[in-house]
Structure 1
Amino acid sequence: MPREYKTILLCVLTIYITSLVLGVEETQEYDECADLNNTTWLEYRQQRVKLQVQYLLLTRRNVDCAQMFNQESLTITQSSYFNISRPTKVIIHGYRALGNKPSWVKELARALLRAQDVNVLVVDWVYGASFAYNLVVENYKEVAVQISVLINQLQKHGCKLESFHFIGVSLGAHVAGFVGTLFEGKIGRITALDPAGPMFKGADTFDRLDPSDAQFVDAIHTDADYFGISIPVGHVDFYLNGGKDQTGCARSRFASMYGYVICDHMRALHVYMSALNGSCPLIGIPCFSYEDFLNGHCVNCDVFKGRCPTIGLSEKNGITISPIPKEQKLFLLTTSSPPFCSHHILLELEVSPLDKSAEVQVKLRTANLGKEQRLRLQTDKTVYRTMLSHAAALCEIDSIEVKNTGARFYRQGDIHIKSVCLSEVPSLRREEPLCVNNIHISRGAPWSHDFVQVCDLF
């Protein structure tokens, strides 16, 4: 008998005997903690059963000791920590190139349990998710079918489909999507963390995640040009830093494998876990494209009646309108490390007509840090708008500095700035923009202005 089966059998027998002797859920003791599987290439070649899907249960009563969860061997009401009256989060990992178990699963489970008192079910399909990606893609629907069998069993014990929230990472997002298809979109929610792109970008909606798979589908995109999917797949789709290259992730062709490939792809997961801690809001701004967003063409959330969606566990990401829009793109800028939150500062600059092109450097300063932005000024344009990522809120900005950095002979020497204005997007505190008018700057002579503000962040 394989070792993993002995472990499962031992765990089940222990639970069963304890439930008979004690008869109550509150006095259970578990001798062993369950864990996800690892596999090797040799084991993978020798396995007769490709998938070997198993389920791990974590709750606030066993945060650090996962319980094996199996509909055939567990009597839910007597010998499991599973609580029918509470919502259930289902975590589904994705492709495992080397057959190793995902190290982030328990961290995500703990973050979910800190945020809400729920059941967390982890779907372990490492055996079917490893090594040859094209074969793994062939397996994902069978995994979804097996999960649907479990959900059907839980329904028989009183669970409601709307109480299930699936969280799928990469390929796991499409597994969750097909579970939703099998239940005709009646499950409560699917959150997709950088849903997989290869072999899915041109797929029919039946074969990939889409808004019809659950009552609410939200997605976070961080690697749309490599391993993630570029098209919107949910009711709302958050594109972090445009959904492609993430701040702090190496993009050099000589960078490490992690820095070059995995960092962007896994950023969605790390941002989501950070959002669960609730230390700061990660707010998305609806816009047609990332370019329009960066150029300051999208500054409000009127499509959601003024309330901008936020990443996290809030119901429908805080959206209150009905019906919910579908495939709505949302853009936001982030920092390179937790908690990843950034304030969106819109810089608007109006200059008098120029004889030559120019370049100006704008610095925003607070007590502890500064933010620099360079703008190239053209002879045929007088108004410039750009969105900046800043760690500080608008009311925390102490000063602004503008410098003409153009080269001596072929750049404009003196620049007349009619106005320079700063505003926060979205304006959560309804602040007036910070504006300074009628500025003359010469080459090599920086101009600065101090703001006197009272900052009430609450």
Structure 2
Amino acid sequence: MVWRVVYVLLLMFDALRAEECTEMTDLDLKDSLTGTSLSVRLLLYTRVNVSCGHLLSHQEPFSNPRFNLSSPSTFLIHGYRPTGSPPLWLTEFVQLLLQRRDMNVIVVDWNRGATNINYWKVVDNTRKVAANLTDLIQKMEVNGANLSSIHMIGVSLGAHISGFTGANFNGRIGRITALDPAGPKFNGQPPSKRLDPTDAQFVEALHTDMDALGYRDLLGHIDYYANGGADQPGCPRSIFSGSQYFKCDHQRSVFLYMSSLNGSCPITAYPCDSYTLFQDGKCMDCGKFAPDGCPVFGYDAVRWRDRLLQLGQTRTYFQTNKEFPFCKFGYKVDIVTWNQKTHWGHLTIKLSNRKEEVQVELNHKTLMFERFVESSILAQFERDVQPVKEITLRFCTGKGLRPRTKLRLLSIRLTPLQNQLSGPLCRYDLLLEENKDVTFRPIPCEDSNF
């Protein structure tokens, strides 16, 4: 008899918990093939219920006592769901947001409407989702919420949903973060038909798959092009890799932004006109952002908002590792040679503190070494090795069986790009023989110029 009572109580507890906690809609490929009609659900998370979503009523959202209108609100909006499954990153994303700040996190669940093999139909639904969110935010404003405290984070199609919603408030919403905004059906469209800088007081866009699923051109006050904006480190390059071949680059935007929420390894974004110029080390001057320096990518970028608004749309670049922590540690490498003849080739640089070492091959282009003319390039290492006690260089021309070239260095300077690192490292009068490692101990640079 007792066990029956316990069993009933457990069932009642499970039923109450199921009624109290709501998870994102979970569909499957069958739903995608048949198509789904749009239905928008709003799931509220706060520091009181970090892992338990509470469904907000569209008619009476403030009937939920956990929804605090005096707190800032962040809307997290997913994109196209071709297989119907909830995003794997959703729970961790919510938790990271709530660790950073006490806020309302509202997950916009439009999986019914985003799950459809017909992508064009899903695109049509983005305006309807925006209308739904507009209605909620209007209620929030009427009841005293400050639109400046609203942050919309949109992934892929969710980025344009954020833009459409912000446009309905004439850009009074505080911030829009676009994570690899969708490109198909939006590329080449006028601002009224996509996200644009007028949709919020501060609009930022991260590009990680601009040659496929993402958007190519500028969309915000600041646009970040991670690793050039297309192919991401560690993502497969063959169609035989399965679904990861199609989604890895696109999804990397989410994981990069989540990493910025962690805050343990900040990534500096360098304003530049092209990725090639960035790799050549031509865009390391952050003077126009003084006294704070170049913007930090991600959640804390809002610190640079006022300066970015003065500068207009700003294109920035950075490089990352293939997995967490994504940040790299960079040096601007400047070389002056004194060979009589001009030589072309590549360099490999290894840094060591005699306990661990890191290496990078600078082979994105062939460097020209002309007598007494400074050659510059950017070297990004996977991790920080301090203090640098030894540097190893290898010079390669790739000319095969031809006589080995000797490169005579008048000077080489490695200038760290992160403020927390030590000063520039130099060496003078060094001879490099092709395909042979030369190891030396760096010394402090004599002055700021060669």
Q: Same fold judged by TM-score > 0.5? A: yes
Which residue type is aligned with residue 55 of structure 1?
Answer: L
Following superposition, the deviation at residue 229 of structure 1 comes to 0.6
Distance in 2, Cα, partners of 1:256 & 1:262: 10
Which residue type is aligned with residue 66 of structure 1?
Answer: G
Task: Give the superposed CA RMSD.
Answer: 2.6
Which residue of the partner structure matches residue 5 of structure 1?
Answer: none
Distance in 2, Cα, partners of 1:283 & 1:445: 34
CA gap 1:346/1:321 in 2 versus in 1, 3 angstroms? same
- 1:394–1:423 contact (8 Å) kept in structure 2: no
Which of 386, 397, 405 is equivalent to 2:377?
A: 386
Which residue of the partner structure matches residue 403 of structure 1?
Answer: 394
Following superposition, the deviation at residue 90 of structure 1 comes to 0.3
- Determine helix, strand or coil for the equivalent of 2:379: strand
1:209 is aligned to 2:200: no
Which of 405, 415, 434 is equivalent to 1:413?
A: 405
Matches within 5 A, 1:320-399: 320-321=306-307, 323-353=309-339, 355=341, 357-366=343-352, 367-374=355-362, 376-378=366-368, 382-393=373-384, 396-399=387-390
1:162 is aligned to 2:154: no
- 2:341–2:370 contact (8 Å) kept in structure 1: no
Task: String of CA shifts for 1:320-379, please: whole Å, max 9, x gaps.
Answer: 537443320111111111120111211122222454745454322233222132464547
Which residue type is aligned with residue 163 of structure 1?
Answer: S
Which residue of the partner structure matches residue 250 of structure 1?
Answer: 236
CA gap 1:428/1:44 in 2 versus in 1, 3 angstroms? closer
Following superposition, the deviation at residue 312 of structure 1 comes to 2.9
Which of 36, 51, 62 is equivalent to 1:64?
A: 51
Which residue of the partner structure matches residue 447 of structure 2?
Answer: none
Question: Runs in 1 of length 4+ with deviation above 6 angstroms?
Answer: 44-47
Distance in 2, Cα, partners of 1:222 & 1:214: 22
Which residue of the partner structure matches residue 226 of structure 2?
Answer: 240
1:316 is aligned to 2:302: yes
CA gap 1:149/1:432 in 2 versus in 1, 3 angstroms? same
- Determine helix, strand or coil for the equivalent of 1:56: strand
Distance in 1, Cα, partners of 2:112 & 2:423: 57
Following superposition, the deviation at residue 43 of structure 1 comes to 4.9
Distance in 2, Cα, partners of 1:220 & 1:103: 20
Which residue of the partner structure matches residue 280 of structure 1?
Answer: 265
Following superposition, the deviation at residue 230 of structure 1 comes to 1.0
- 2:222–2:308 contact (8 Å) kept in structure 1: no
CA gap 1:412/1:337 in 2 versus in 1, 3 angstroms? same
Taking structure 1 as the reference length, what is the TM-score of the superposition?
0.85
Which residue of the partner structure matches residue 181 of structure 1?
Answer: 167
Distance in 2, Cα, partners of 1:68 & 1:312: 28
Which residue of the partner structure matches residue 434 of structure 1?
Answer: 425
Distance in 1, Cα, partners of 2:196 & 2:68: 30
- Determine helix, strand or coil for the equivalent of 1:363: strand
- 1:357–1:412 contact (8 Å) kept in structure 2: no
- 2:426–2:443 contact (8 Å) kept in structure 1: no
Following superposition, the deviation at residue 443 of structure 1 comes to 4.0
CA gap 1:170/1:396 in 2 versus in 1, 3 angstroms? farther
Equivalent pairs, count: 423
- Determine helix, strand or coil for the equivalent of 1:167: strand
- 2:393–2:437 contact (8 Å) kept in structure 1: yes
Distance in 1, Cα, partners of 2:107 & 2:87: 11
- Determine helix, strand or coil for the equivalent of 1:98: coil
- Determine helix, strand or coil for the equivalent of 1:371: strand
Unaligned runs of 5+ in 1: 1-9, 15-28, 454-458
- 1:196–1:228 contact (8 Å) kept in structure 2: yes
Distance in 1, Cα, partners of 2:429 & 2:275: 31
Distance in 1, Cα, partners of 2:34 & 2:318: 46
Following superposition, the deviation at residue 430 of structure 1 comes to 8.2
Taking only the aligned residue pairs, the percentage that are identical comes to: 33
Task: String of CA shifts for 1:95-149, please: whole Å, max 9, x gaps.
Answer: 0112222222221111100111100001111111122111111111111011100
CA gap 1:75/1:191 in 2 versus in 1, 3 angstroms? closer
CA gap 1:393/1:102 in 2 versus in 1, 3 angstroms? closer
Which residue type is aligned with residue 224 of structure 1?
Answer: M
Distance in 2, Cα, partners of 1:313 & 1:320: 15
Which of 297, 303, 311 is equivalent to 2:282?
A: 297
Distance in 2, Cα, partners of 1:315 & 1:439: 41
Distance in 2, Cα, partners of 1:369 & 1:190: 40
Which residue of the partner structure matches residue 424 of structure 1?
Answer: 416
Which residue type is aligned with residue 311 of structure 1?
Answer: F
Which residue type is aligned with residue 235 of structure 1?
Answer: H
Distance in 1, Cα, partners of 2:369 & 2:46: 63
- Determine helix, strand or coil for the equivalent of 1:239: strand
- Determine helix, strand or coil for the equivalent of 2:317: strand
1:447 is aligned to 2:432: no
Following superposition, the deviation at residue 85 of structure 1 comes to 1.2
Which residue of the partner structure matches residue 24 of structure 2?
Answer: 36
Following superposition, the deviation at residue 245 of structure 1 comes to 0.8
Bigger CA drift: 311-320 or 238-247? Answer: 311-320
Which residue type is aligned with residue 21 of structure 2?
Answer: C
Following superposition, the deviation at residue 423 of structure 1 comes to 0.8
Distance in 2, Cα, partners of 1:329 & 1:117: 31
- 1:211–1:326 contact (8 Å) kept in structure 2: no
Following superposition, the deviation at residue 411 of structure 1 comes to 5.0
- Determine helix, strand or coil for the equivalent of 2:164: helix
Which residue type is aligned with residue 335 of structure 1?
Answer: N
CA gap 1:411/1:123 in 2 versus in 1, 3 angstroms? farther
Which residue type is aligned with residue 57 of structure 1?
Answer: L
Distance in 1, Cα, partners of 2:367 & 2:273: 25
- 2:360–2:381 contact (8 Å) kept in structure 1: no
Which residue of the partner structure matches residue 222 of structure 1?
Answer: 208
- Determine helix, strand or coil for the equivalent of 2:123: helix
- 1:71–1:153 contact (8 Å) kept in structure 2: no
Which residue of the partner structure matches residue 37 of structure 2?
Answer: 50
- 1:309–1:319 contact (8 Å) kept in structure 2: no
Distance in 2, Cα, partners of 1:93 & 1:323: 27
Unaligned runs of 5+ in 2: 1-11, 445-450
Bigger CA drift: 333-342 or 301-310? Answer: 301-310
